[in-house]
Amino acid sequence: MHLIEDSLGKFFEKQVAIDPDHEFIIYPDRNLRFTYSQFNERVNNLAKGLLAIGIKKGDHVGIWAKNVPDWLTFMFATSKIGAVLVTVNTAYKSHEVEYVLKQSDMKALALIDSFRDVDYLKIINELVPELKSSERGRLKSKNFPFLKSVIYVGQEKHRGMYNTSELMLLGSHYPDDELKEILAKVRGDDVVNMQYTSGTTGFPKGVMLTSKNILNNGLSIGDRQKFTHEDRLCLTVPLFHCFGIVLGVMAILTHRATLVMLEVFDPLLVLAAIQKEKCTALYGVPTMFIAEYTHPMFDMFDLSSLRTGIMAGSTCPVEAMKKVVKDMHCHQITSVYGLTEASPGMTQTTVDDLLELRVETVGKSFPGVEVRVVDPSTNEPVPLNTVGELCCRGYNIMKGYYNMPEETKKVIDEEGWLHSGDLGTCDEKGYYRITGRIKDMIIRGGENIYPREIEEFLNAMPGVEDAQVVGIPDTKYGEIVGAFVILEKGADFTEADIRDYAISKIARYKVPKHVFIVKEYPLTASGKIQKYKLRELASGLLKNRGTNGN
Q: Looking at the predicted structure, is the pLDDT value of residue 548 above 60?
A: no
**pLDDT of 550:** 47
Q: Looking at the predicted structure, is the pLDDT value of residue 235 above 90?
A: yes
Kindly state the percentage of the chain with pLDDT values over 70.
97
Average pLDDT over residues 217-223: 98
CA distances from 533 to 41, 332, 435, 466, 529 (A): 58, 41, 20, 17, 9
> Domain for residue 162, yes or no?
yes
Q: Which residues pair with 394 in a beta bridge?
A: 369
Q: Could you say which of 147, 172, 206 is where a domain stops?
A: 206
Whether 250 and 126 map to the same domain: the answer is: no
Whether 302 and 351 map to the same domain: the answer is: yes
Whether 448 and 501 map to the same domain: the answer is: yes
CA distances from 547 to 175, 282, 484, 513, 543 (A): 63, 33, 17, 11, 6
Q: Could you say which of 182, 206, 230 is where a domain stops?
A: 206
**pLDDT of 287:** 84
Q: Which residues pair with 468 in a beta bridge?
A: 484
Buried b (16+ CB within 10 A) or exposed e, 438-453: eeebbbbbbbbbbbbb
In whole numbers, what is the pLDDT of the chain averaged over residues?
94
- Contact at 8 Å (CB) between 25 and 43? no
Of 419, 459, 457, nearest to 339 by C-alpha is 419
Average pLDDT over residues 301-312: 97
- Return phi, psi of residue 415, to 5°: -90, 5
Whether 171 and 239 map to the same domain: the answer is: no
- Give per-residue pLDDT as tens, 185-209: 999 999 999 999 865 456 789 999 9
CA distances from 24 to 12, 72, 256, 260, 278 (A): 11, 11, 8, 8, 15
> Domain for residue 412, yes or no?
no
Alpha-carbon distance 295 to 158, whole Å? Answer: 40
- Give per-residue pLDDT as tens, 20-65: 999 999 999 999 999 999 999 999 999 999 999 999 999 999 999 9
Q: Looking at the predicted structure, is the pLDDT value of residue 526 above 80?
A: no
- At residue 202, the 3 state secondary structure works out as coil
Average pLDDT over residues 299-322: 89
Whether 290 and 353 map to the same domain: the answer is: yes
- Give per-residue pLDDT as tens, 151-191: 999 999 999 999 999 999 999 999 999 999 999 999 999 99
Average pLDDT over residues 505-520: 94
- Contact at 8 Å (CB) between 222 and 248? no
Alpha-carbon distance 521 to 532, whole Å? Answer: 11
Task: With cut-offs at 50, 70 and 90, classify the pLDDT of residue 219.
Answer: very high
> Domain for residue 383, yes or no?
no
> Domain for residue 23, yes or no?
yes
Q: Looking at the predicted structure, is the pLDDT value of residue 104 above 80?
A: yes
CATH code of the domain covering residue 247: 3.40.50.12780
Whether 211 and 167 map to the same domain: the answer is: no
- Return phi, psi of residue 549, to 5°: 105, -25
Q: Looking at the predicted structure, is the pLDDT value of residue 134 above 80?
A: yes
Whether 256 and 193 map to the same domain: the answer is: no
Helices (H), ranges, 303-347: 318-327
Alpha-carbon distance 221 to 246, whole Å? Answer: 8
Q: Looking at the predicted structure, is the pLDDT value of residue 8 above 80?
A: yes
**pLDDT of 456:** 84
Whether 219 and 128 map to the same domain: the answer is: no
**pLDDT of 168:** 97
| Amino acid identity, position 181 | E
Buried b (16+ CB within 10 A) or exposed e, 464-477: bebbbbbbbebeeb
For the chain, the domain total comes to 3
> Domain for residue 60, yes or no?
yes
Count how many residues are written for the chain: 550
Alpha-carbon distance 135 to 164, whole Å? Answer: 17
- At residue 304, the 3 state secondary structure works out as coil
Average pLDDT over residues 423-431: 96
- Give per-residue pLDDT as tens, 353-405: 999 999 889 999 999 999 999 998 899 999 999 999 999 999 999 999 999 99
Alpha-carbon distance 188 to 173, whole Å? Answer: 28
**pLDDT of 545:** 79
Alpha-carbon distance 67 to 57, whole Å? Answer: 25
CATH code of the domain covering residue 514: 3.30.300.30
**pLDDT of 1:** 80
Whether 158 and 283 map to the same domain: the answer is: no
Average pLDDT over residues 462-481: 91
> Domain for residue 417, yes or no?
no
0.85 surpassed by pTM: yes
> Domain for residue 382, yes or no?
no
Whether 249 and 182 map to the same domain: the answer is: no
> Domain for residue 378, yes or no?
no
Whether 244 and 265 map to the same domain: the answer is: yes
- In a 13 Å sphere around the CA of 458, the CA atoms on its Cβ side amount to 33
Whether 63 and 80 map to the same domain: the answer is: yes
Kindly state the percentage of the chain with pLDDT values over 90.
83
Torsion of CA 315, 319, 322, 323, to 10 degrees: -110
Domain range for 343 is 207-366+395-407+428-437
DSSP state of 529: B
Q: Could you say which of 181, 206, 231 is where a domain stops?
A: 206
Q: Which residues contact 500 (CB under 8 A, 6 or more apart)?
A: none
